[in-house]
A and B are shown apart, each in its own frame.
Chain A
Amino acid sequence: MEISILAIAGSPRRHGNSEDLLDFVLDSLSGYPDVRVEKLALSMLDVNPCRGCNTCEKEGICVIKDDMKMLEEKIAEADAIIVSSPIYCMGLCAQVKALVDRMQVFRSRRYVLKMPIVPPEKRGKKAGLFISTAGQDWDWVFDGAVPSVKCFFHLAGIRDKDMYYLMINNVDKKGEIKAHPDAGEQARKAGEELIEKMRRLRED
């Protein structure tokens, strides 16, 4: 059975380091005949911040009419989700944070309205991969971003143990990731790990 992957390049900049790293992973996945990837660039879409209006707690839908409607369906349907974001000021870039916060509608469906958030046959069978790059060389540079990423994946129906991270620091200038000694190898491994995980989840 086919594995569908939704890849979202979250950076406001096209083809910068975080998107390049995402592309490394997607390139490595092109070798699998049963893997179908759809890649979207968030900067080409219109995804506005959550207004905190809480209407979704009553209606189970978001009142904001923008591209999130389309993304909601893709996020619910995909077998695996890959999201990339650069680190800006020690956190996700604001654009990706907007996407994460718009997952509130999934939270309302699941915890307030007790509605399913993913198709029944995909429950507990989804995996996620977060990809990030940061200019700073500190080990803790991703610490501010990860808790929000976990929220995103949780609300997409992905469990903690099915989340993967490919985060590379100390790449600052555009294109620098291409000169990185083992980013390509790390990306290939991350892709492989994700697909292996998907296969194991399906056997469970």
Chain B
Amino acid sequence: MTVRVLGISGSPRRGGNTERLLDAFLKGARDAGGDVEKVVLKKLKFRSCMGCNKCHNIGVCVVKDDLTPVLERISETDVLALSSPIYSMGITSELKALIDRGQYLWARKFVLNNLEFSAEHIKLHKGIFISTAGQDTNDVFLGAYPVLTAFFNDFGIDYYENITARGMDRWGGIDGHPDALSEAENKGSEIVRLMEELKGKAAKE
């Protein structure tokens, strides 16, 4: 059973530490037989949520741009890996823009009450946050987690794990880190194997 894996790079910089970490994860996923797709936000043209709240009435976003198909693909994938470096103790404005655009699903769930994800659906959809930070303090990712939680909840995705590496300034980049890249690759393979198993079980039931 094919496991679809969608990796989204939210860094404005190409080939930087975070994108490299995402790539390692996606390589692991591909090696384990996953159907892997990668989206680089930097290449797309889009705007953030304008707070117009039209989705609270119609359940869809009135903004149509390059994010529109990406949001649809997010709804279809088995594994979603969202990645962003930490800028000023949070995710980048680009990834935050994507996340804020998920408001239409929140509206469907809690305003229009026409969308509900079953426990089974949530179990079969896994979300992963991939991030690096220049700083080495143990609170450097804490501002990001609540935001990722909100987004995964909107989409009925189980927030499965964080793949993070801090202290990039100290390590001289991701290549200097003792095991971040190999660990991300392992986790990419592991999640595909886990999802194969879960999907297989679900299909039998």
Known: A104-B87, A145-B143. 12 other contacts (CB 8 A): A50-B12, A51-B13, A89-B147, A89-B154, A91-B90, A91-B96, A91-B150, A94-B48, A94-B93, A101-B87, A144-B90, A144-B146
Are A11 and B143 in contact, CB atoms less than 8 angstroms apart? Answer: no
CB of B131 within 8 Å of the partner chain: no
Segment among B73-81, B97-105, B175-183, B188-196 that sits at the interface with chain A: B97-105
The 10 closest A-B pairs by CB, nearest first: A147-B89, A13-B51, A94-B48, A98-B93, A144-B146, A151-B88, A90-B146, A49-B93, A94-B97, A52-B13
B90 and A92 contacting across the interface, CB-CB below 8 Å: yes
**Residues of A near any B CB (own CB < 8 A):** 11-13, 16, 49-53, 86, 88-95, 97-98, 100-101, 103-104, 140, 143-148, 150-152, 174
- A171 vs chain B, min Cβ distance (A): 13
**Does chain A have a CB within 8 A of B151?**
yes
Establish whether residues B48 and A95, one from each chain, have CB atoms under 8 Å apart when the complex forms: yes
Looking at the assembled complex, report how far the CB atom of B74 sits from the nearest CB atom of chain A, in whole angstroms.
Answer: 14
Let me know if A50 and B93 touch, CB within 8 A. yes
Q: Are A16 and B51 in contact (CB under 8 A)?
A: yes
Are B146 and A88 in contact (CB-based, < 8 A)?
no
Complex Cα spacing A49 to B97, Å: 10
Do residues A143 and B146 form an inter-chain contact, with CB atoms below 8 A?
yes
Most buried by B among A52, A104, A143, A174: A52
B residues within 8 A CB of A90? 146-147, 149-150
The reply to whether A93 and B147 contact each other, CB–CB distance below 8 Å, is no
Query: Which B residues touch A98, using CB under 8 A?
Result: 93
Number of residues in B with C-beta < 8 Å to the partner? 36
Partner of A144 from B13, B48, B147 at Cβ < 8 Å? B147
The secondary structure that dominates the B interface is loop
Q: How far is the CA of A145 from the CA of B89 in the complex (A)?
A: 9
Quote the shortest CB–CB distance from A36 to chain B (angstroms).
28
A49 in complex: contacting residue of B12, B16, B139, B151, CB < 8 Å: B12
What's the minimum C-beta distance from A45 to chain B, rounded to whole angstroms?
Answer: 14
| CB <8 Å contact, A144 and B12 | no
Contacts A144-B146, A147-B90, A150-B89; A94 near B100 (Cβ below 8 A): yes
26 pairs of residues in contact across A and B, judged by CB atoms under 8 Å: A49-B94, A50-B87, A52-B85, A52-B87, A86-B51, A88-B49, A88-B96, A89-B96, A89-B100, A89-B102, A89-B147, A93-B96, A94-B48, A94-B49, A95-B48, A97-B87, A97-B92, A97-B96, A100-B87, A100-B90, A101-B87, A101-B88, A148-B88, A151-B89, A152-B88, A174-B53
Give the complex CA separation of A22 and B102 in angstroms.
26
The smallest beta-carbon distance between A199 and chain B, in angstroms, is 30
- Does B119 sit at the interface, judged by CB under 8 A? no
CB of A144 within 8 A of CB of B143, answer: yes
Question: Which residue of chain B has its CB nearest to the CB of A52?
Answer: B13
Residues of B within 8 A of A52 (CB): 11-13, 16, 85, 87, 92
CB of A68 to closest CB in B, whole Å: 12
Residues of chain A with a CB closer than 8 A to B94's CB: 49, 94
State the CA gap A97–B94 with chains docked (Å): 9
- Are B93 and A101 within 8 A (Cβ)? yes
Given A11-B51, A12-B48, A52-B13, CB of A91 within 8 Å of CB of B143 = yes
- Give the docked Cα–Cα distance between A92 and B142 (Å): 14
Chain A residues positioned under 8 Å from B150 (CB to CB):
89-91
